[in-house]
Amino acid sequence: MAVEITRILVIDDHPLLREGVSSTLDTVDDFEVIGQGGSYSDAITMAHDFIPDTILLDISMPGGGVEATREIHEALPSIKLIMLTASEDEKDVMSALQAGANAYILKGIGGKELIKRVRQVSAGEIFITPSLATNILVHSYNEEAPGQVDLLNKLNKRESEILKALERGLTNKQIADELFLSEKTIKHYMTNILQKLQVKNRVEAALIAQKMNYDES
């Protein structure tokens, strides 16, 4: 049986880091780094030319990583977008997630851990460096809790189960297997969940669920 290859672009304006990340990912049999770039324009052009499965990009590069993320997500929503950056600024994290990023990972991560996270995100999961996710939850504590509780109360029992599974980072297929449902059914529920929670993507839905768990603890 043929191995399904994850095709990856690495976009960063620091050549040494870019080449190091690419070399690390290329050691994995089912990863293929198909291109490298160093700017917003490189990201946009290569995304359209190559239609990769996953793109790793920095938030602070010529032209802007958030802007590139937003444009790619809107034009090519099937591409998984991973911010690999040194910025721990909460505004940068939220801007990236709202633009459509599937993950926000701090530079300095080890090679094995990076491979693990790229594999997870490429499979449809979401990931935020834990310390950053905690800071976001703590900082936003009590800001909009009543309204978000009301939104969560709109979910039926099955939708709540799926949201909890999403918060754990499960893919649609994994949720389907766990709940003995078809993947198509999970996608239908996921659409309803996003609409009821008034969010644009799985990341924002998972953050709301995480915040509510924090509030209850």
- Domain positions in the chain are 6-129, 140-216
Distance CA 61, CA 24 (A): 21
pLDDT, tens only, 74-90: 999 889 999 999 999 98
Class of domain 140-216: mainly alpha
Considering the entire predicted model, what is its pTM?
Answer: 0.72
pLDDT of 217 reads: 44
Q: Which residues of the chain are under the pLDDT cut of 50?
A: 140-142, 144-146, 214-217
Distance CA 32, CA 28 (A): 8
Q: Which long-range contacts (CB under 8 A, 24 or more apart) does 103-112 make?
A: 103/127, 103/128, 104/128, 104/129, 104/132, 105/129, 106/132, 107/17, 109/84, 111/24
Which of 81, 89, 88, 41 lies closest to 61 in space, CA to CA? 41
CATH superfamily of the domain spanning 6-129: Response regulator (3.40.50.2300)
pLDDT of 86 reads: 95
Q: Do domains 6-129 and 140-216 have the same CATH topology?
A: no
Partner residues linked to 7 by β-bridges: 32
pLDDT of 36 reads: 98
